[in-house]
Structure 1
Amino acid sequence: MDVRRLEVLRELKLRGSVTAVAQATHRTPSAVSQQLKTLEREVGAPLTERSGRGLALTPAGDALARAAADVVVAIARAEETWRTYLASPEGLVDLAVFPTAGRMFLPGLLRAVRGVPGLEVVATDVDPQHADFAGIVPDFDVVLAHSVGPAPAWKDRHLIAVPLVDEPLDVALPEGHPLAERAEVAPADVVSEPFIGVPVDFPYQRLLQEIERVAGAPLTIVQRFSDTRVTESLVAAGEGLAVLPRFTSAGPGSGVVLRPLAQLAPTRRIAALLRRESAERPSVRAVLDALRTIAAGLS
């Protein structure tokens, strides 16, 4: 049954005539009559009958009109709840992050949301090899995603992509390495060194292939790890060089030095992905504002 037709039936019970219903609902009398006839076909029973020059409700029509009142009240409550929901940044926001994005954004984000009454963020880490970040957006309110090289067509998936930061990807060297004395290194400088790589289906693998292409020689990959912390520890131990993100690697005391990669100057683009309807929620908008503030302080 169409809710709008139930409302017309309820109005007929309250106002007593088709003309009065038409005036109250800004319809023509013929439009009101048509709505009532359609509703009768939907329920399979006569709802009105002739009474003098007008219409009166049948017992079935009177019973349905009383039930329609409950429906209208429920809809009004739902609309008011929704208006309140849209007006206040309260509620739970489910956030998916890959590990380095978690280190980059989560501490500041959680501090920020503690200052917003009623707002809660629950974060879940996702595997960094999850190249199809857009594919998990239906399971979360916000997904932090990254891409190396050309940005994927996230908008083609009917999603909103909020750019946050372009993070440089640097060559990681152990402290004391001869190349660490340079301001930057080139592919030809590093191609002869042992390298700590990534699993072959990870986005960073494409960058390693670019280093080989520009240098004109293959890299010697001695180990492959997805965890940047493991990679960083191996670089610090002198087991090889690696490519690591600048903002979340080589902190004080790490034993690792980061240097820009000349000729390629690679970056990874980090963005927040979400459904269009999620972007209407004040709670989600508050989280996005906090993420943008944190990202602005990184570059």
Structure 2
Amino acid sequence: MDVRRLELLREFADRGSITAVAAATHRTPSAVSQQLKLLEREAGVALTEKRGRGLELTGAGLALADTARRIAVAIESAEALWLEFKQSPRGSVSVSAFPTAGQMLLPGALRALRDEEGLEIVLTDHDLPLPDFAQLTADYDVVIADSQGIPAHWNENGLRCVPLMIEPFDVALPAGHPLVEKTVVRGTDLVDEHWIGAPVGYPYDRVLERLGATVGREPRIVQRVMDNLIVERLVAAGIGIAILPRFTTRSHGNGIVTRPITGLPAERQISALMRADRAERPSVRRVLELLAVEAERVVAGYRTVGER
């Protein structure tokens, strides 16, 4: 079977439509369909079937797409091994990051790359309406994602998930709020508060769900806002309190104070997601190393400040 046709089948499995595969691979839809038909002829079994107005993979097609993923990983692994004998990591690595991860991890990583000739990061920032970062791995070499725990589908369909850091969440309060006097805030302290919430499904929102389950009452959410800088301003104005990430929240001299929460899980996992074959590239592996170094520096820096 032609490896290039197998790659098209894998793209169809990941993207779900001929049109999407054509756009991603710079082909026409008819050219993609023709190549899949040729692969089907080589395989000797039906790989796709009509479903409504579109196509979907048969059982044989799904199995062969999974085989195509393993072949892609093996090819990238072999090329990576060979490149290690020939040269230092080179090339362009596309990285998608959500805003606060970009603030924490990317300046240092980009600065470190100045000394590594031939290797570059091409950065895109994404703050998804619904935080399903796995869908971005089709278009970016590395996707920096946040979650509470590791979703099961992040370890499926040929994806690789590399944990980078754990970031705690704190409660953000207006500077004159009575709870500022406490060093640690309990869930029961927050029962009667008004909240600036995050969009439904985001890690901050899940903390509020757990808070409601803990105290037996749903939090009173007066606004839902995605941008953390806007949330900080609303908290400072006394509109409500909020759950915000510890390492990137500006809580000095801007009208808000943060306090740790005790009694319920309040943290997020920040990870790097990628297709398993791309994870074998020396350039991608080097970028992951730089991101891991930055994550360790951020966590260690906060500990040092906290110990003063």
User: Does residue 276 in structure 1 map to residue 276 in structure 2?
Assistant: yes
- Match for 1:94: what amino acid? S
Quote the residue 1:152 is aligned against: 151
1:16-39 deviations in Å (ceiling 9; x for gaps): xxxxxxxxxxxxxxxxxxxxxxxx
TM-score under structure 2 length normalisation: 0.67
Quote the residue 1:23 is aligned against: none
Quote the residue 1:204 is aligned against: 204
Quote the residue 2:226 is aligned against: 226
Say how many residue pairs are matched. Answer: 222
1:111 deviates by 0.6
- Match for 1:137: what amino acid? T
Quote the residue 2:183 is aligned against: 183
Quote the residue 2:193 is aligned against: 193
For residues 77-226 of structure 1, what are the structure 2 equivalents within 5 Å? 83-84=82-83, 87-148=87-148, 150-153=149-152, 154-226=154-226
State how far apart, in whole Å, the 1-side matches of 2:220 and 2:81 are. Answer: 58
Conserved in 1, the CA contact under 8 Å of 2:90 and 2:118? Answer: yes
1:80 deviates by 9.3
Quote the residue 1:259 is aligned against: 259
State how far apart, in whole Å, the 2-side matches of 1:243 and 1:108 are. Answer: 26
Aligned pair in 2 of structure 1 residues 80, 255: CA closer, same or farther (>3 Å)?
closer
* SS in structure 2 at match of 1:123: strand
1:107-130 deviations in Å (ceiling 9; x for gaps): 111111112111111111112444
Conserved in 2, the CA contact under 8 Å of 1:128 and 1:226? Answer: no
Conserved in 2, the CA contact under 8 Å of 1:169 and 1:244? Answer: yes
| Structure ID, larger Rg | 1
Aligned pair in 2 of structure 1 residues 111, 251: CA closer, same or farther (>3 Å)?
farther
State how far apart, in whole Å, the 2-side matches of 1:80 and 1:167 are. Answer: 35
Quote the residue 1:64 is aligned against: none
* SS in structure 2 at match of 1:297: helix
* SS in structure 2 at match of 1:233: helix
Conserved in 1, the CA contact under 8 Å of 2:83 and 2:282? Answer: no
* SS in structure 1 at match of 2:105: helix
TM-score under structure 1 length normalisation: 0.69
State how far apart, in whole Å, the 2-side matches of 1:278 and 1:285 are. Answer: 9
Quote the residue 1:243 is aligned against: 243
- Match for 2:151: what amino acid? P
1:197 deviates by 0.8
1:255 deviates by 2.1
* SS in structure 1 at match of 2:137: helix
Aligned pair in 2 of structure 1 residues 233, 282: CA closer, same or farther (>3 Å)?
same
* SS in structure 2 at match of 1:189: helix
* SS in structure 1 at match of 2:298: coil
1:134-170 deviations in Å (ceiling 9; x for gaps): 121011100001102x321211232111110010011
Quote the residue 1:22 is aligned against: none
Conserved in 2, the CA contact under 8 Å of 1:129 and 1:202? Answer: no
1:105 deviates by 1.0
1:264-283 deviations in Å (ceiling 9; x for gaps): 14110000011122122221
1:69-104 deviations in Å (ceiling 9; x for gaps): xxxxxxxxxx99994487421110000001111111
- Match for 1:133: what amino acid? F
* SS in structure 1 at match of 2:232: helix
1:202 deviates by 2.9
- Match for 1:266: what amino acid? A
1:180 deviates by 1.1
Conserved in 2, the CA contact under 8 Å of 1:170 and 1:246? Answer: yes
Conserved in 2, the CA contact under 8 Å of 1:134 and 1:157? Answer: no
Aligned pair in 2 of structure 1 residues 80, 264: CA closer, same or farther (>3 Å)?
closer
Runs of 4+ in 1 over 4 A off after TM superposition: 79-82
Aligned pair in 2 of structure 1 residues 233, 81: CA closer, same or farther (>3 Å)?
closer
State how far apart, in whole Å, the 2-side matches of 1:191 and 1:89 are. Answer: 53
- Match for 2:182: what amino acid? R
- Match for 2:261: what amino acid? L
- Match for 1:252: what amino acid? H
Conserved in 1, the CA contact under 8 Å of 2:97 and 2:124? Answer: yes
- Match for 1:278: what amino acid? R
Aligned pair in 2 of structure 1 residues 252, 137: CA closer, same or farther (>3 Å)?
same
- Match for 1:224: what amino acid? R
